[in-house]
Structure 1
């Protein structure tokens, strides 16, 4: 897969999908062509980066139905809709269903490419954020029960001596646990530890 992710082109019109595919692949973008929404859904898997360009009027699962299904499976890929028979109500419904843009055929290639570049950048940013959240969750989950207690005490603003008294352990033990917490969380200071814990969904209570 390319660094930008795969661009899925979904259109029952062979000439339309192959023509758009040729245009985008000539720019060095990685593409996959699908003759139906069913074919796309069967191939999509767990891809987190990329984009979907789908025709609205297709037999079976329409482009609008596809938007609903992508929302149901929580697919994060941005979707650009294209159609040869567009109207305002259809465009409004598509946007409300999650499409990021709507183009009428014949598509203005330069305008589509510009919007596609924006969509790929947004997709990459979102994927990076999701991966960061997963890594942070793993760090937090790696804390032992005692380390988690110390971490929560730090989050509450307690000093080491206070933590020792609260937990009924020695100051040295608190310092050891706190050191382990800082290492596991990748925090260089108490302030950074607090920021990471809050980002991970912890609160002072």
Structure 2
């Protein structure tokens, strides 16, 4: 048992486990590497509480399935998704299912640490969801109708081209609206924008 905050790294690539593990150890965290989702699921009843860094693309069982099974078993450890494929739709699914954040490989150390600290904040202090939703509604109120439509499309996991087709505008125009809405929301990443959108109840259509 250690006083260090523990991170469970679940990734089938040894190089990722080693590099991310080193990054975390040198930042003062405890690290427990796992080479498969199945291995972690088998050991989770006795696993020490911590934060889970979970890769999406793994053989046998992928990250989304691991996340689903953990939720079914009542495991409440916060999850941060890792993807090397820039798959926005998958990342959206993971965040809707409760992931704290998603990180695209390769990611910078500062981005990783920020996500992990937010994950541990979730453990130690449950935020008032009603207050979060109210704040999100106020923030999103600053967007134009078209910007809200683009954000809602992103929250549904749709690519720019599909959003453009649905709204009858060009992909370039979607990119402009996307850049503008992120500026108005004062966010620098899609995951931050999605958190606000989800808190406001966006992205719920089938």
Scaled by the length of structure 1, the TM-score of the pair is 0.57
**1:119 CA displacement:** 1.1
Distance 1:48 1:13, change over 3 A: closer
Equivalent pair of 2:4/2:28 in contact (CA under 8 Å):
no
Equivalent pair of 2:51/2:79 in contact (CA under 8 Å):
yes
Equivalent pair of 2:100/2:118 in contact (CA under 8 Å):
no
**1:53 CA displacement:** 0.1
Cα separation, 1, equivalents of 2:103 and 2:110: 12
- Give a deviation string over 1:15-66, Cα, whole Å, max 9, x none: 0111100110112211100000011112222557310001100001100101
Q: SS of 1:40's equivalent?
A: helix
Cα separation, 2, equivalents of 1:60 and 1:111: 29
Residue 42 of structure 1 aligns with which residue? 42
Q: SS of 2:85's equivalent?
A: coil
Task: Spell out the pairing of 1:45-64 with structure 2 (5 A cutoff).
Answer: 45=45, 49-64=49-64
Q: SS of 1:33's equivalent?
A: strand
Q: Which runs of 5+ in 1 are unaligned?
A: 127-205
Cα separation, 2, equivalents of 1:8 and 1:32: 5
Cα separation, 1, equivalents of 2:85 and 2:37: 18
RMSD, matched Cα: 1.7
Structure number with larger C-alpha Rg: 1
- Give a deviation string over 1:106-163, Cα, whole Å, max 9, x none: 112211101101212322346xxxxxxxxxxxxxxxxxxxxxxxxxxxxxxxxxxxxx
Cα separation, 2, equivalents of 1:77 and 1:94: 14
Residue 89 of structure 2 aligns with which residue? 89
The total of aligned residue pairs comes to 126
Residue 120 of structure 1 aligns with which residue? 120
Cα separation, 1, equivalents of 2:123 and 2:67: 16
Cα separation, 1, equivalents of 2:5 and 2:29: 8
Distance 1:22 1:110, change over 3 A: same
Equivalent pair of 1:4/1:120 in contact (CA under 8 Å):
no
**1:90 CA displacement:** 1.1
